[in-house]
Structure 1
Amino acid sequence: MEHAETDPYAQVEERDYEAALRPKTLAEFDGQPRVREQLALVLDAARHRGTTPDHVLLSGPPGLGKTTLAMIIAEEMGVGLRISSGPAIQHAGDLAAILSGLDEGEVLFLDEIHRLSRPAEEMLYLAMEDFRVDVIVGKGPGATAIPIELPPFTLVGATTRAGMLPGPLRDRFGFTAQLDFYDPADLSGIVANSAGKLGVSIHPDATDEIARRSRGTPRIANRLLRRVRDFAQVKGHPQAHRAVARAALELYEVDERGLDRLDRAVLGALCNLFDGGPVGLSTLALSVGEEIETVSEVAEPFLIREGLLVRTPRGRVATRAGYAHMGLRPPAQNPALFD
């Protein structure tokens, strides 16, 4: 259920719903208790000193609340929020334009900060430390650097690949938070809160069912909730209970562990076509008719986290648990299978 919608109107609808369901303050933000406590301390200390908070780096898989936390930081500090992303900033001049347009105390949120270009990244070092950028005017021997002073601001960087951040950039953040997958109890609470905002009558056993199939991710939990809501409305159920949630999620091909069609296609191909592996990623992707990046970035991480698939130097290998989940008997003659 993490695949991007191809319909632009569906994408707008998804964004509108996500915005409506986002918590606005740290007190409303469910889950991530340690990160919430640490961030609250950073913000409270800044308020007491009358300064801008330290720069914040948020890392973790997609859908765990990095953008929401950036919005909350701005809301808690009572300042404006500017949003951009690493891929959108191709040149140092692009970043200089964004930085020079900031008002004092504003929060600048850079998503996918690990994808900044090298020139922009080097400009960001100076901006984060000294609140200054040097704009180069001219070319060759006659080029001169004009310093532009910036108002104090807080940079909130988000990344799904913290290991790709250069050390000098990572070290300039005063607070770094690693967001973890949510446990089912926290997700169940998030689903219940979201149902209230959407005006959906839902039984606690249905919120538990949705949470259990949400891959530890609030964004997916809220998406599944909307599909359960649609199913209940169309089928004439005044309240969504567990049986309704199960029927809806089975219709949308999300099984009891959260695997969707692509996940099961990858795992099924590995087990049925390649005797459990090992098999190369490109061959596996070709067998299910998907792009290599889709298999490696959408399906594989969850299958590995669930212990259903393993990456090895020779290729992808199914585990015995993966065979069991697919209702298949593992081949006795394959010594590569993992327990």
Structure 2
Amino acid sequence: MNAIPEHPESDTELEFESTLRPRNLREFVGQEKVRTQLDLLLRAARLQGRTPDHILLAGPPGLGKTTLAMIVAEETGQALRLTSGPALQNAGDLAAVLSSMTEGEVLFIDEIHRMARTAEEMLYLAMEDFRIDIMVGKGAGAQSVPLDLPPFTVVGATTRAGLLPAPLRDRFGFTAHLEFYSDAELERVLERTARLLELGASGAPLAEIASRSRGTPRIANRLLRRVRDWALVHQAELDTPSAQAALELYDVDARGLDRLDRAVLEALILRFSGGPVGVRTLAVTVGEEAETVEAVVEPFLVRSGLIARTQRGRIATLEAYDHLGIAPTSR
């Protein structure tokens, strides 16, 4: 019997996520090519006694960019400093961070494409020459004072690599493109998580959760926790029926679609006869922001083959009709 421990997990969400993060590249599941490339980069830097080249991690949310940044710091034996693009809204914000960096430290900038332009321009010089120019004074008497920085490594993460200006992209010595996970890889992620949470689950129930996790480890771990909660409350084994019942309760269907995904599909098919229709019109129909539909819902539906983009708008595929159990209409 897969007994569910009743002790609380962690005091905070941050502590919980921290316990699940791999500590090194050997523990990191999936992204085989990126892991091999990153391992080579870090080994070469270690053999040469230098700081690793700057690293850019690009890919959708939840695939492990922050975890890889932490692993870079762990593998190099250096401290990790975390910040984000939205927090660096002027050159002064970045100067405050850079001026306190120590030699070999790893600076992780999440959503680096959202940095202010003035901060980006300062970062160019810091990444290339390890120095920055600080303006002292105001008006005609202002002076530029150069400040040398110790060698350090920038790890940037972005979900929209196309928004990064070319001068910034070119200053990264290595760019990794993270891909969505296969169901088999997600099952390995869940096996590790289940082991850390002492759930005693394996095999079919984890495969069921993996198949509904949209190729994303973060989602897989979250769904496993919801299934664990369901089994605990209902005093049931963490088996396939429990997984199916819990995921049905949380509106996650057999293909990983949630309530909003299905609402968009149903609106496209039932209200607009399968399209074509613009994304803003779809968003208004389901009562969501256009940015949410375009950035969160649409990529998964397109990748799943349920909708297609055309010059005239979005259209539902035959697979979408079949998934919702609706007879196709002639366009």
Aligned to 1:337: none
User: Could you tell me whether the CA contact under 8 Å between 1:108 and 1:155 is conserved in 2?
Assistant: yes
Aligned to 1:8: none
Aligned to 1:81: 80
* 1:265 aligns to 2:263 (yes or no): yes
Q: State the alpha-carbon separation in 2 of the partners of residues 297 and 13 from structure 1.
A: 28
Task: Name which of 307, 326, 329 aligns with 2:327.
Answer: 329
* 1:218 aligns to 2:217 (yes or no): yes
Q: CA RMSD in A?
A: 1.1
How far off its partner does 1:15 sit? 3.0
How far off its partner does 1:233 sit? 0.7
* 1:249 aligns to 2:217 (yes or no): no
Q: State the alpha-carbon separation in 2 of the partners of residues 216 and 14 from structure 1.
A: 22
- In structure 1, give the amino acid aligned to 2:307: L
- In structure 1, give the amino acid aligned to 2:282: L
User: Could you tell me whether the CA contact under 8 Å between 1:203 and 1:240 is conserved in 2?
Assistant: no
Aligned to 2:302: 304
How do 1:53-202 residues align onto structure 2 when only pairs under 5 Å count? 53-202=52-201
- In structure 1, give the amino acid aligned to 2:23: K
* 1:44 aligns to 2:49 (yes or no): no
- In structure 2, give the amino acid aligned to 1:102: M
Task: Name which of 244, 254, 273 aligns with 1:275.
Answer: 273
Which string of whole-angstrom CA distances, capped at 9 and with x for unpartnered residues, describes residues 228-262 of structure 1?
1001111112x311111111111111011100011
Structure 1, unaligned runs of 5 or more: 1-11, 335-339
User: Could you tell me whether the CA contact under 8 Å between 1:203 and 1:242 is conserved in 2?
Assistant: no
How far off its partner does 1:139 sit? 3.2
Structure 1 range deviating more: 275-284 or 66-75: 275-284
Q: State the alpha-carbon separation in 2 of the partners of residues 13 and 265 from structure 1.
A: 32
Q: State the alpha-carbon separation in 2 of the partners of residues 201 and 240 from structure 1.
A: 8
Q: State the alpha-carbon separation in 1 of the partners of residues 14 and 253 from structure 2.
A: 25
Task: Name which of 299, 318, 321 aligns with 1:320.
Answer: 318
What is the TM-score with the length of structure 2 in the denominator?
Answer: 0.95
- In structure 1, give the amino acid aligned to 2:295: E
Relative contact order, CA 8 A, sep 6+: which one is greater?
Answer: 2
- In structure 1, give the amino acid aligned to 2:243: A
Aligned to 2:24: 25
How far off its partner does 1:16 sit? 2.9
- In structure 2, give the amino acid aligned to 1:321: E
User: Could you tell me whether the CA contact under 8 Å between 1:228 and 1:245 is conserved in 2?
Assistant: yes
How far off its partner does 1:13 sit? 4.1
Aligned to 1:230: 229
- In structure 1, give the amino acid aligned to 2:321: Y
Q: Secondary structure at the match of 1:27?
A: coil
Which string of whole-angstrom CA distances, capped at 9 and with x for unpartnered residues, describes residues 18-70 of structure 1?
22110010000000000000000000111111110000000000000000000
Aligned to 1:6: none
Which string of whole-angstrom CA distances, capped at 9 and with x for unpartnered residues, describes residues 264-288 of structure 1?
0000110011101111222111111
Structure 2, unaligned runs of 5 or more: 1-10
Q: State the alpha-carbon separation in 2 of the partners of residues 13 and 227 from structure 1.
A: 16
* 1:285 aligns to 2:275 (yes or no): no
Q: Secondary structure at the match of 1:220?
A: helix
Which string of whole-angstrom CA distances, capped at 9 and with x for unpartnered residues, describes residues 117-175 of structure 1?
11100000000001000011233433211001111100000001111111111010001
How far off its partner does 1:180 sit? 0.2
- In structure 2, give the amino acid aligned to 1:314: R
- In structure 1, give the amino acid aligned to 2:269: C
Q: State the alpha-carbon separation in 1 of the partners of residues 213 and 242 from structure 2.
A: 16
- In structure 2, give the amino acid aligned to 1:283: T
Q: State the alpha-carbon separation in 2 of the partners of residues 14 and 160 from structure 1.
A: 22
Which string of whole-angstrom CA distances, capped at 9 and with x for unpartnered residues, describes residues 292-336 of structure 1?
11111111110010010112222211111111111111111x1xx
How far off its partner does 1:212 sit? 0.5
Q: State the alpha-carbon separation in 2 of the partners of residues 182 and 13 from structure 1.
A: 27
Q: State the alpha-carbon separation in 2 of the partners of residues 16 and 322 from structure 1.
A: 39
- In structure 1, give the amino acid aligned to 2:276: P
Structure 1 range deviating more: 211-220 or 13-22: 13-22
User: Could you tell me whether the CA contact under 8 Å between 1:83 and 1:109 is conserved in 2?
Assistant: yes
Q: State the alpha-carbon separation in 1 of the partners of residues 288 and 250 from structure 2.
A: 19
- In structure 1, give the amino acid aligned to 2:180: F
Q: Secondary structure at the match of 2:135?
A: strand
